[in-house]
Structure 1
């Protein structure tokens, strides 16, 4: 099977490519534009194992400029992960980047796909489209994003639906809930917490630290994503991909303290914009359609991320 993964050098994208290549019938074409030059070395490291794989082909191209007619082929599967991530950085002048890379890129890819008989087009979205909700959130909850980032990802979902309804594109939408694990971006919470503890620096905490998240280990997330490729009855569906455990930020830090055998210093720095106080994924639809079952506990997942970051920050004070 010929599979195209956009955002292939990213945190989740690189894990997804590696997982897809474990099945010998798959050939993976990875595409990444390295939009942020400051993250190029991180992304190249993410690609280390992939670039030497005989069934992996990589294109380092800006997705706004790419000629899709030279890449797309009949019966391709597309996993569209490429996007500018991050809630806090999506305000102000940065919004232009989000519009270009989360909305315009998606529209151009969909436009290129409408005359190609694809097998599946799987669009990766985010729990950020839901906004503030009470209790467990199912896929039919009314979207109400709190950040420009969430708005751009929701717009991508709507574009997918428009092209599905008008051009018959075989769309499936996956909404990820707070993915963590090895290769997590340096701006993401767990990476920052662990880095600060390794360097004996105070951990910056937004709000009171009692906000909760549905944390999804990257391996579980990828298994759910791959399941969307092989499962039947996924076309036209929107499916939550959540984790095994919900915890508050303070509870996460307690687990880190236990694992690392040290006390963390906390620096409460005030509220942030655009983030819900709580997230909680209803994954019953994923369980039914994808036979999805997250298995990695938060403690085990954090241990894997710590091991990964120890290599990066070894000897750093």
Structure 2
């Protein structure tokens, strides 16, 4: 079955490539390259960017984790049919960047190895390769090109443990190897911006959720466990709070960088509309699903802050960013998506 899926995908890539080759270089178009395009956020971002008829997107994804192959194919299934989208499935460490950066105006760099819990121990090498080395190779390939913008997507994990709302001026103090590698990516961007005049903007995301969320992420796991009558693993006492950002709010803010003025050299938080504790989120899900959750409390994870809370006044000012989706509505949307996935016959 996987071979057949790959064959279909290859045909769609070729068809999209023919359209892109015709459109690239046409006057009035904005040629955008998105790394990590088959991921949770990357696929939504490509769809958002393509809502503007003058935008052409090249999406690149290395499918680093083979276990996510079917998930990522589902993420980009609709994009593969879009005449202004081309998908490139290749290893970003060995990719011929010169070929794919030709005529590109804007780069959104989302690709990387995610996850705090798995960044310890022997797996740290994967984080250095995909979060640091890939970023350095891409920046190196960009330094002699006339880019309009280079947007690097980072994370609230670079802040570490902070009290109250966290602004972009707060000194970074990551608690995990994952956070260290993402912060290193930020520093690399700043070095190339200073030495090679790259037009860098850094975005720091705060706990993004919604349809297509990876299976290892909290809300996806919670919903799946309730649907399948399995205990929900909660690390610590469940009273830790997060600033939750719904996916459509996240990509709206991210896409806004494309046309924003005065964002060169800026670091900008992208946060959500509501903060809740983990136990409060589970309570909302119980009401949405109509089933009681069985909670299994486990030892607190190292590397994760107890609270996150984004100060988003800079995003409001520079990007006219206004998160609009209430947490309950966003959770309902994610539940509906996962119901289709697990109960509706999808893979």
| Global fold match (TM > 0.5) | yes
Distance apart, 1:258 and its partner CA: 1.0
1:76 matched to 2:125: no
Question: In the alignment, is the contact (CA less than 8 A) between 2:211 and 2:333 conserved in 1?
Answer: yes
CA distance in 1 between counterparts of 2:168 and 2:242 reads: 17
CA distance in 2 between counterparts of 1:276 and 1:91 reads: 16
Distance apart, 1:75 and its partner CA: 5.4
Runs of 4 or more above 4 Å deviation: none
1:166 matched to 2:213: no
Q: What count of residue pairs does the alignment treat as equivalent? A: 316
RMSD: 0.9
1:306 matched to 2:335: yes
Q: Which residue number in structure 1 is paired with residue 93 of structure 2?
A: 64
Distance apart, 1:315 and its partner CA: 6.7
One of 233, 236, 240 as aligned partner of 2:262: 233
Q: Which residue number in structure 1 is paired with residue 6 of structure 2?
A: none
Q: Which residue number in structure 1 is paired with residue 141 of structure 2?
A: 112
Structure 2 residues not aligned, in runs of 5+:
1-29
Q: How does 1:1-317 map to 2 (within 5 A)?
A: 1-74=30-103, 76-314=105-343
Structure 1 residues not aligned, in runs of 5+:
none
Question: In the alignment, is the contact (CA less than 8 A) between 1:74 and 1:116 conserved in 2?
Answer: no
Distance apart, 1:234 and its partner CA: 0.4
Distance apart, 1:180 and its partner CA: 0.1
CA displacement 1:94-128 (0-9 Å, x = unmatched): 00000000000000000000000101000000000
Q: What's the TM-score, normalizing by structure 1?
A: 0.99
Question: In the alignment, is the contact (CA less than 8 A) between 2:33 and 2:104 conserved in 1?
Answer: no
CA distance in 1 between counterparts of 2:160 and 2:328 reads: 27
Distance apart, 1:252 and its partner CA: 0.3
Deviates more, 1:68-77 or 1:252-261: 68-77
CA distance in 2 between counterparts of 1:73 and 1:291 reads: 31
Question: In the alignment, is the contact (CA less than 8 A) between 1:74 and 1:118 conserved in 2?
Answer: no
CA distance in 2 between counterparts of 1:63 and 1:201 reads: 37
